[in-house]
A and B are shown apart, each in its own frame.
Chain A
Amino acid sequence: MPSTFFTEPPHWRWLIVLYFFIGGLAGGCYFLAALIDLFGRITDRPLARLGYRIAFPAVVVCGVLLIVDLGRPERFWHMLLQSETWRPMFKSYSPMSFGAWGLLLFGLFAFLSFLGALGPDANRDGLGRLRPPALLGTVIAILGGLAGFFLASYTGVLLAVTNRPIWADTTLLGLLFVVSSASTSIALLLLLGSGRVFLIGGLRALQRFDIGVLVLELIAIVAVIASLGSVARVWLDVWGVLLVVGVIGLGIVVPALLHLRAHAPTALSARAAALLVLVGGFLLRIVIVLSSEAV
């Protein structure tokens, strides 16, 4: 029996599942917004604004979820400051310590970009300087995008750096989570932007992007299962059904086919695809977190 089966679960349940999902959306939406601002067309900028407007509230929700989940919520700041000396508390080899600082840093960039996204897209003065193409905005978008990637992926690394079954039996959860955060964030932007016909160009690019990301996500899930080896037998029950039917079937394969068939990203089938991707992304986190908790 693998050594991970001699350990105890940390009672990370629904709040953590929600955090992983919303954190993925926060990081992913910010990355997409930065990508659109830096590489998209001027007509795509409302989509980027949407991304910034999602990222900051989402990261605030993330912070609240994490604090509420603590056994002693009033001591949340012990993650950042040493309680005795008030010096910074940072352990580069502890993903949770790294993650606490990453979340704070991402929150800062998300807040600045959120401010920048409050005004009209064409505004290059005042708060508009917090968004590309202004130099300050470009720097914020690049650093914030990288922090967004970190937020989307470190949770998978955090799970791997434990001794629990499934989580510590593969090193691919960080990769899977970052890909899934991209697919769910694209889906959210597609869904919220689909009512605006004038965004059709950007939405079409997002749709193309989503099909590629869904294929990558499918490959990542298969790779995770293969890397688990005999441990994957844990999923030969309701978790496996949820993974195959819910995550792979309804959350990846069906949406990819719907995207391919949809004549436009604003079509009903494209919206349905986006909704399914979001549901699949949430189910993925449920399966990964709770199936190990159940062992």
Chain B
Amino acid sequence: MAEPMGFYTDTTVCIGCKACEVACKEWNQLPATNGGRNTLSGDSYDNTRRLDGIHWRHVKFIEQFNADRSQGRWLMMSDVCKHCVRAGCLEVCPTGAIIRTEFDTVVIQSDVCNGCRDCIAGCPFGVIDINPVSGTAQKCTLCYDRMRAGMEPACAKACPTDSINFGPIRQLKEMAERRVGQLKQGGESRAYLYGADDKIVGGLNSFYLLVDKPEVYGLPADPRLPSRNLKPSSLWATVGAALIGIMGVISFRSRGRDHA
């Protein structure tokens, strides 16, 4: 396997230009509108609103203002599939459409997926959705086709501030840790890395530098794998089946008072 590759997104330098969104759509030939409909959020400059089958990159605009809007700040973050080291979508996929590539990234093979949508429910980050054009589940491939050709993903190439950094995970982590140190030295004590270590689903091959709690960015503080429930849930179901079986046998065996 080649060296694990991924993204390190420094949210402190994101300016919300959405060049990454546009580059992603262009390269991956994703439709600009959903079924021909242009929809506006109406309460934000963020009209993409969420990642889904036709938005594989999404620049979040987190608007933190006080009641009279005299004070506030904008947090911007270009969100994308996390390419989890232990991926929930890959665990539950029943067709084998979701694979781990030689770059340690997670890719949905659109020609194999049959649109069962189990991966949508299994993803701890709400990244995947159906592309209405293909009828299959889709998400960021980390530009697998470009990586195979030795090129960087389209979004990282287009990012004008180097908020999105692409490269070997080992190098990205070193770069990210240096940046956290630099920010802390400069007085931004809240800076930290989300998903760079293995505490979150084994590590995220697309990790982030954040300056507020994960929930503020729409990220779960404690994302977990769907398989955590497999054994206890199966066990309880078996207990239920056993109880029903025993009750059924007793009901049909103990019929002393019945005449028929």
Of B57-65, B115-123, B182-190, which stretch is located at the interface?
A: B115-123
Partner of A7, one of B114, B121, B229, B238: B121
A6 close to B223 (CB less than 8 A): yes
Question: In whole angstroms, what is the CA distance A202 to B259 when docked?
Answer: 11
* Residues A160 and B229 in contact, CB atoms below 8 Å apart: yes
Docked pose: A21 CA to B195 CA in angstroms: 40
B258 touches A205 (CB 8 A): yes
Q: In A165-182, which residues have CB < 8 Å from any B CB?
A: 167-168, 171-179, 182
Q: In the complex, A178→B243 CA distance in Å? A: 10
Answer yes or no: B137 CB below 8 A from chain A CBs: yes
Tell whether A14 is near chain B: CB-to-CB under 8 Å: no
Contact B236 A174 (CB under 8 A): yes
B72 within 8 A of A: no
A43 at the interface (CB under 8 A from B): yes
Question: Which of B117, B128, B260 is close to A200, meaning CB atoms less than 8 Å apart?
Answer: B260
Interchain CB contact under 8 A, A94 and B251: no
CB of A96 within 8 A of CB of B92, answer yes
Interface presence of A163 (CB below 8 A): yes
Q: Interface stretch among B9-17, B23-31, B212-220?
A: B212-220
Known: A36-B252, A72-B114, A96-B92. A168 touches B237 (CB 8 A): no
B225 smallest CB distance to A (angstroms): 8
Contact of B224 among A3, A10, A73, A76 (CB under 8 A): A3
Is A65 an interface position by the 8 A CB rule? no
- Does chain A have a CB within 8 A of B247? yes
Query: A8 to B249, alpha carbons, bound, how many Å?
Result: 43
Instruction: Assess whether A128 is interfacial by the CB under 8 Å rule.
Output: no
A213:B125 contact, CB within 8 angstroms: no
Given contacts A71-B114, A100-B94, contact A201 B259 (CB under 8 A): yes
- Tell me the minimal C-beta distance from B231 to chain A in angstroms: 9
Counting chain B residues whose Cβ lies within 8 A of the other chain, the interface size class is 35 or more
Q: Which of A6, A32, A76, A93 has the most CB of B within 10 A?
A: A6
Q: Within the complex, what minimum Cβ distance (angstroms) separates A195 from chain B? A: 16
| Inter-chain contacts of A35 with B (CB < 8 A) | 245, 248-249, 252
A94 surroundings in chain B (CB, below 8 A)? 91-94, 118
Interface majority SS on A: helix, strand, loop or mixed? helix
Tell me whether B124 is interfacial, beta carbon within 8 Å: yes
Inter-subunit contact B125/A6 (CB<8 Å) = yes
How many residues of chain A have a CB within 8 Å of chain B?
76
Interface residues of B in 186-232 (CB under 8 A from A): 215, 218-224, 226-227, 229-230, 232
Say whether A144 faces chain B, with CB atoms less than 8 Å apart. Answer: no
Q: Is the CB of A161 within 8 A of B229?
A: yes
Q: Is A212 an interface residue (CB 8 A)?
A: yes
Question: Any chain B CB within 8 A of the CB of A153?
Answer: yes
A291 sits at the interface (CB 8 A)? no
For residue A275, give the distance in angstroms from its CB to the closest CB of chain B.
21
Nearest chain B CB to A223's CB is how many angstroms away? 9
Distance A19 CA – B206 CA, assembled complex (angstroms): 37
Q: A153-B240, A178-B244 are in contact. Are A70 and B233 (CB under 8 A)?
A: no
| A208 vs B136: C-alpha distance when bound (angstroms) | 48
A157 interfacial contact with B, CB 8 Å? yes
What does the 1/0 interface line of A1-42 toward B look like (CB < 8 Å)? 101011111111000000000000000000110011001110
Residues of chain A lying within 8 A (CB to CB) of residue B117 = 10-12, 71
Q: Are A162 and B233 in contact, CB atoms less than 8 angstroms apart?
A: no
Known: A156-B233, A160-B229. A8 touches B123 (CB 8 A): yes
20 extra interchain contacts, Cβ-Cβ under 8 A, other than A72-B135, A96-B92? A1-B215, A10-B121, A31-B245, A35-B245, A39-B248, A43-B260, A71-B130, A78-B112, A83-B95, A83-B112, A95-B92, A96-B118, A152-B241, A158-B118, A163-B123, A163-B226, A164-B121, A167-B121, A172-B233, A175-B239
21 cross-chain CB contacts under 8 A: A3-B124, A6-B215, A11-B117, A31-B245, A35-B249, A44-B252, A71-B116, A75-B95, A78-B97, A79-B116, A91-B93, A91-B94, A95-B92, A100-B94, A149-B245, A162-B92, A174-B233, A175-B236, A178-B237, A182-B248, A205-B251
Interface residues of B (CB under 8 A from A): 50, 52, 88, 91-97, 111-118, 120-130, 134-137, 215, 218-224, 226-227, 229-230, 232-234, 236-241, 243-245, 247-249, 251-253, 255, 258-260
